[in-house]
Structure 1
Amino acid sequence: MLAIHNGQYQYLLGSVSANMFPLSHIPLFSLLSMTVILSAKISMVNSHGCESFDNVRSEVIETNDRQSSEKLDGCIERKKLHDKTIVSAYFRNQKIPKLGKESVRYLVKLKTISFWGCNVETVEAGAFKGVPQLKNVQISFSNLKKIRMGVFNPIETLELLRIHDNRIDTIDDQAFANLTSLKKIYAGNNALSYWHSNWFRNSTNLQTMDFHNNKIRTLPRRAFATLPKLKRINLDWNEISAIESEAFRGLKKLQYLGLGNNRLTVIHESVFPSNIQISTLLINANYLNYLSGELLNKVSVLEVFLDYNPWKCPCLKEIYAWIHSTNGALRVYDGCGSNHVPVCANRKSLLQCSENVDEELSRRYLGVFANLTKPLASGCVRTD
């Protein structure tokens, strides 16, 4: 039996005609076989990567601002939307465990797509195809564990990516690379324990990154060196105990740097470039006893959150002088102010700032919070 490959049917008929072999002489069984083979191939092509949705609802907005609710099976594409031309699609609290290859395809005007609370566990490379204007993607409040290379990279127009509130613990190398339009990424409330600078290779227009409330332990050398336009970094509520030398190399002016509620005992002056300006700096609720004079000479701030570190009192006095010299302001988190807890600790023999870690002094200071008659709000101080 003759095997027919996709796209060769017309060629076959032309060959038959050229050889003066009338179709009437071809056995009926052979014709039926050819039809079955061809139909099977066409069916396979049409269904490829189009099995992600099973009776799910999406709210869509068309180019004329008309809104409607659509029931979808397979994938989201124009012909399944009754030929509507949409600019936005929102899936909320649907059951979509997997976004397979070409789950979102050939929607040339689509700018925003959101999967919120849809229990997404897996997103395959190539999930988005033929979306030349897509700017905003959200996959949040789901069960996503891994970000694969090739999922977001093909979306050249992507500006805003929200993947927060998942269970992400793995990100492939260069998973966000070559996204030259990407400006903001929100990936907080996940389970990442490490940081790789090559995640964002050649994504040089990134301005905001939010990875708060993960489990990141270390910031490596040159963590942000390829991101010269970065303005806001939120790494609050992680497990960061070490920041390597030159971690912030390449950055000159930050609007926000969040390092609060981590496990820092020291911040070496070598982590920052000279004369870096930080509008808002959060280093509250760590285990810091001091900031070195070299560090204070490198950095200027407009406002800083220092509260609930086991500061040595002479060292805290130097920090206050630094804030004053840069015309900065001291801030305290809402709900964390108290007149019943100390702002620093000291040894009787300590009259000047000694730039070394004093673990025993830190234990004494943090032990005070275990015996407060009126405990501070959750998150104000880290005692674990």
Structure 2
Amino acid sequence: MLNVNRCAVLFSLVTMFIENRCHKCVSFNNITLIVHQRYGDPFNITSFSGCIERVSFGDASLTEIYIRQQNVTSIGEDSIRHMVRLKTLVFWGCPVRNISAGAIRNVPRLQNLQISYGNLERIKEDIFNEVPTVQLLRLHDNAISVIENNAFSNLRKLKKIFMANNKLKQWKNSWFTNTTNLEIIDFQKNQLEIIPRKAFNGMSHLKQLFLDYNEIKAIEEEAFKGIRELDYLGLRYNRLIDLDAKIFPNNLTVRSLLIDANYLNYLPNELLEKLSVKDLTLDGNPWKCPCLDRIHYWLFSSNATLRTSTYCTGSDIPLCSYPESYSQTCLENIDEQITRTYIDGLKQLKRPLRKFCARLD
């Protein structure tokens, strides 16, 4: 009988331990929430402490929660859970450094998730496993330098991801395994150096790709394979010295193509034959004059528009140069002498050149 009682007590203790573990969460402490209800007006909750869960808000059925400029340094395990009506969750201007796996759990309608203007440095593989319904993900304006493989995988409803103003140097297509419905990717103002082969493989719905203001010096063959049509392709203010025709699929249409402020001397004729654009910016590149003439003719023939970069206004900014061995034909080779001469000419302008007109380094 004594053994039976001991077993019963042991079973009770184990059960209590499991229940406590299941209900335990990493809570918030003394923060302000701005919340929107399913029915009723938005309101503020001040000095909130605890986990963000259904039982914390009484009868209120919350659809949006905004946490702005609060002292939140970590989003811990189970800290947001069981919010069955919640569609929008925003951490803005909070010094968040870490997000734990399972931080957001049982939030089946979550569509918009934002953790921006914080201190995030790393996106771990399993952070977003519990939010497969998310459609919009904003992680911009942090200090992210590492994204682990599969970090954004299996997010089949994700359409827009904004990662601008971080510290990423490397692009990996393994980030987005089985995430095939993306329409907008924004990785502006990072430190990306190379766009690898098949970087956007499987993203046939992609419409806008922002890679401007990086350090991109090379785009590998078939990098854009699988993309059918783009409304916007931004490669402005990078370090490209050439654009090989093989990086693009055949018959790709790009409505707006921005390649200004690179180190381009020419565009290959093969590229002009396979690529269709509606409007183009190309200022601030050390073009060979015959090659620039050929681009102008290509745009005229296809009824496309050449746009001037807003950073390059002014009649004193040179457009192109002739090589030392004069030629009226566009020679498809990189001419370092023309590039150096062009950059030196920009540095000597009486009126200081605006920063994003051209790269002077």
TM-score under structure 1 length normalisation: 0.89
Matching residue of 2:37: 62
- 1:377: which partner in 2? 354
Q: CA deviation at 1:95?
A: 0.8
Residue 171 of structure 1 is matched in structure 2 by 147
Counterpart of 1:79, as a letter, is: V
Deviations 1:273-296 (A, max 9, x none): 111000000100000000000010
Q: Return 5+ residue gaps in structure 1 as ranges.
A: 10-33
SS of equivalent residue, structure 1 residue 366: helix
Cα shift at 1:175: 0.7
1:106 paired residue among 82, 93, 98: 82
Counterpart position of 2:328: 351
**2:52 is equivalent to residue 72 of structure 1:** no
Matched, 1:321 2:310: no
Structure of larger gyration radius:
1
Does structure 2 retain, via aligned residues, the 8 Å contact 1:105–1:131? Answer: yes
**Which residue number in structure 2 is paired with residue 301 of structure 1?**
277
* Residue number among 301, 307, 313 corresponding to 1:331 in the alignment: 307
Decide whether the 8 Å contact of 1:5 with 1:38 is kept in 2: no
Asked if residue 136 in structure 1 is aligned to residue 112 in structure 2, the reply is yes
Q: How far off its partner does 1:199 sit?
A: 0.8
Partner of 1:27: none
Which deviations, in whole Å up to 9, do the C-alpha atoms of 1:56-94 show, x marking residues without a partner?
111001101421112322321112223421000000000
| Alignment-mate amino acid for residue 206 of structure 1 | L
Deviations 1:196-243 (A, max 9, x none): 111111111110000000001001101111111111100000110010
Structure 1 match to 2:68: 92
Distance 2:71 2:264 in 1: 45
The 1-side partners of 2:52 and 2:59 are apart by 11
Shift of 1:107: 0.2
Report the CA distance between 1:164 and its aligned residue. 0.3
CA contact (8 A) 2:318 2:346 kept: no
- The answer as to whether partners of 1:59 and 1:90 remain within 8 angstroms in 2 is yes
- Counterparts of 2:271 and 2:240, CA distance in 1: 15
Following superposition, the deviation at residue 375 of structure 1 comes to: 1.2
Deviations along 1:147-175, whole A, 9 cap, x unmatched? 11121132121100000000001111111
Which segment is superposed worse, 142-151 or 331-340? 331-340
Percent identity, aligned pairs only, is 41
Aligned partner (choices 91, 95, 113) of residue 115 of structure 1: 91
Please list the CA deviations of residues 246-290 of structure 1 after superposition, one character each: whole Å capped at 9, or x if unmatched.
000011210000011000000101000111000000100000000
1:46: how far off? 2.7
For the structure 1 residues 4 and 230, does the alpha-carbon distance in structure 2 shift closer, same or farther, using more than 3 Å as the test? farther
SS of equivalent to 1:79: helix
Corresponding residue SS for 2:198: coil
* The one of 260, 263, 267 aligned to 2:236: 260
Is contact 1:4–1:38 with CA below 8 Å preserved after alignment? no
Q: Which runs of 5 or more residues in structure 2 are unaligned?
A: none
Secondary structure of residue in 2 paired with 1:90 = strand
| Alpha carbons 2:311, 2:356 under 8 Å: kept | no
Which deviates more, 368-377 or 131-140? 368-377
Structure 1 residues 230 and 38, CA, compared in 2 at 3 Å: closer, same or farther?
closer
- In the alignment, the residues of structure 2 paired with residue 172 and residue 182 of structure 1 have an alpha-carbon distance, to the nearest angstrom, of 18
Give the partner amino acid of 1:369: L
Counterpart Cα distance in 1 of 2:103 and 2:244: 43
Measure the CA separation in 2 of the matches of 1:344 and 1:249. 31
